[in-house]
């Protein structure tokens, strides 16, 4: 019996592609039908990478200080005689020493005050609701509103009081759950710190290894392009994130000084909210102002009004003076695309997406712009957008 088969290459290829499509469809159906279990299993495996993710983030942030100390120490003549490896270790030690000092200041002075402010706010919410309800009822009696309107307002206020009380009661379990998860994450953070030290200590070695792998996978032209995109990514993200962090710290310091002078309620808590949310482009001032106004309003409506004026002046100062001085024109995109990047980034990546959405979009935008302009040049067409207005 002849076992030799004359395989038709065309139909064999079609059969293989059909098998791959069918197998992929079955796999996709199995994954989607048990999506919860699949996500849970995937998250379990992904959790093993948490220390490395924390380590990378910590290393990226500390790297700003590392580069700063390298630049400043390099100006000292006596240190120029030190071996490069020892010079790197000295800069790394100073970078982590300063970072540890900042963490200590936060944990020793700011964090306890934040906890006390939040605890006092939660404890006082029922009293705030009661006093606000009585004040509105007093106004309704003084203005002599129709009884139907008064009944409607009272009913809504009672519902609001019940809702806020329930939220206040839920805040305690949420806070405890947050503390528990934070405690469980401390080990990963500790491992992340150790990993970040190794990353920065052997930074040049890791960079060289990545370049070696890059040139082994791609041809020289494409490998050079990959390195150029990575350098561009580093420049865009470092300029944007470093500039926004510095800008937010300056605005936070100014806010703390002004709010302390006017004796604003919950000064430290409000300043912390303003500083953190100001990192978010465009929407940051609004995101930070809304909860801050609500917190202050319960304590003093008049101070809440003054807070709005203060925060408006600060944001004008930030948007027209401080921000442009620090960031310059590093984004290179219009306000429309900034808004687009923030909305899309927030939708897919949450709060982190609100922060990294803009620099990520700037990177993608620059790559697409480069490709489009290269294709236009190859066709002998103009690359300036204004040249296409009348076409």
54-70 confidence digits (pLDDT tens)? 899 899 989 988 988 88
Strands (E), 7-47: none
From first CA to last CA, the distance across the chain in angstroms is: 72
Report, as an integer, the average pLDDT of 18-39.
70
Task: Return the SS3 of 389.
Answer: coil
Q: Of 173, 171, 186, nearest to 107 (Cα)?
A: 186
Quick check: 166 and 174 in contact, CB under 8 A?
no
Domain membership flag for residue 115: yes
Where are the alpha helices (H) located in 34-110, listed in sequence order? Answer: 35-46, 50-73, 84-105
Instruction: Give the residue, 46 or 145, on which the prediction is more confident.
Output: 46
Which residue matches tokens 């990047």? 341
Task: Please check whether residue 122 is in contact with residue 166, taking contact to mean a CB–CB distance below 8 angstroms.
Answer: no
Asked if residue 365 has pLDDT above 60, the reply is yes
Domain assignment of residue 91, given as a range: 48-217
Q: What is the pLDDT of residue 184?
A: 65
pLDDT level of residue 53 (50, 70, 90 thresholds): confident
Dist. CA 358–CA 368, nearest whole Å: 15
CA dihedral 240, 245, 248, 250 (to 10 degrees): -110
Lowest mean pLDDT among 28-32, 70-74, 345-349: 28-32
| 58 lies in some domain | yes
pLDDT tens-digit profile of 284-294?
A: 778 888 888 88
pTM of the model: 0.70
Residue 1: pLDDT band (50, 70, 90) is: very low
Find the mean pLDDT for residues 209-235. 90
Q: Is 281 domain-assigned?
A: no
Question: Which two tokens mark 211?
Answer: 């370049």
Q: Cα–Cα distance between 172 and 49 in angstroms, integer?
A: 30
Q: Is 280 inside a domain boundary?
A: no
In a domain, 201, yes or no: yes
DSSP 107: I
Q: Which residue has the tokens 């001032």?
A: 285
pLDDT at 113: 76
* Cα-to-chain-centroid distance, residue 106: 19
Q: What band does 137 get if pLDDT is binned at 50, 70 and 90?
A: low
Residue 163 lies in a domain: yes
The answer to the question of residue 61 being in a domain is yes
Specify if 36 maps to a domain.
Answer: no
What is the DSSP-derived secondary structure letter of residue 197? Answer: H
CA distance readout (Å), 303 to 267, 284, 345: 11, 21, 34
**Whether residue 5 has pLDDT greater than 80:** no
List, as one string, the DSSP characters of 309-341.
HHHHHHHHHIIIIIHHHHHTT-S-S-HHHHHHH
Higher pLDDT, 153 or 108: 108
List all residues 6 or more positions away from 69 whose beta carbon is below 8 Å from its beta carbon.
90, 91, 94, 95
For the cut 80, the answer to whether the pLDDT of residue 377 exceeds it is: yes
Number of domains comprising the chain: 1
Helices (H), the chain: 9-33, 35-46, 50-73, 84-105, 111-143, 147-201, 203-217, 220-261, 267-277, 284-299, 301-317, 323-327, 335-378
CA dist., res. 370 & res. 93, Å (int)? 40
Tens of pLDDT, residue by residue over 139-188, are 666 665 566 666 676 676 667 666 666 665 665 566 666 666 666 677 88
Tokens, residue 60: 């990226």
Residue 379 has pLDDT above 50, yes or no: yes
In the chain, how many H helices and how many E strands? 13, 0
């Amino acid at each position: 019996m002849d076992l030799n088969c004359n395989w038709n290459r065309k139909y064999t290829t079609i059969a293989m592609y059909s098998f791959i499509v069918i197998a992929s469809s079955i796999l996709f159906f199995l994954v989607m039908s048990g999506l919860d279990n699949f996500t849970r299993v995937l998250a379990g495996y992904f959790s093993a990478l948490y220390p490395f993710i924390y380590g990378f983030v910590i290393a990226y942030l500390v790297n700003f200080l590392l580069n700063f100390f390298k630049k400043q120490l390099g100006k000292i003549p006596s240190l120029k005689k030190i071996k490069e490896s020892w010079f790197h270790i000295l800069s790394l030690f100073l970078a982590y020493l300063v970072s540890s000092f900042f963490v200590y200041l936060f944990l020793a002075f700011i964090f306890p005050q934040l906890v006390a402010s939040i605890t006092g706010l939660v404890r006082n919410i029922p009293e705030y609701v009661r006093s606000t309800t009585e004040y509105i009822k007093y106004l309704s009696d003084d203005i002599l509103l129709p009884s139907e309107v008064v009944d409607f307002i009272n009913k809504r206020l009672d519902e609001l009081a019940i809702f806020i009380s329930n939220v206040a009661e839920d805040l305690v379990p949420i806070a405890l759950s947050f503390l528990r998860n934070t405690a469980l994450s401390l080990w990963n953070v500790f491992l992340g710190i150790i990993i970040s030290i190794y990353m920065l200590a052997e930074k040049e070695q890791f960079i060289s290894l990545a370049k070696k792998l890059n040139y082994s996978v791609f041809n020289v032209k494409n490998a050079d392009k990959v390195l150029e995109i990575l350098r561009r990514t580093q420049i865009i993200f470092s300029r944007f994130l470093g500039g926004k962090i510095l800008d937010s710290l300056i605005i936070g310091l100014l806010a703390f000084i002004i709010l302390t002078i006017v004796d604003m309620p919950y000064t430290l808590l409000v300043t912390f909210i303003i500083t953190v949310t100001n990192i978010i482009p465009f929407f940051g001032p609004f995101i930070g102002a809304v909860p801050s106004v609500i917190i202050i309003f319960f304590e003093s409506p008049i101070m809440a009004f003054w807070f709005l004026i203060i925060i408006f002046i600060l944001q004008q100062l930030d948007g027209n003076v401080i921000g442009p001085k620090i960031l310059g024109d590093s984004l290179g995109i219009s306000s429309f695309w900034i808004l687009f990047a923030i909305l899309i980034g927030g939708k897919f990546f949450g709060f982190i997406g609100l922060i990294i959405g803009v620099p990520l979009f700037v990177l993608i935008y620059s790559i697409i712009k480069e490709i489009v302009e290269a294709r236009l040049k190859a066709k002998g067409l103009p690359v300036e957008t204004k040249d296409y207005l009348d076409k």
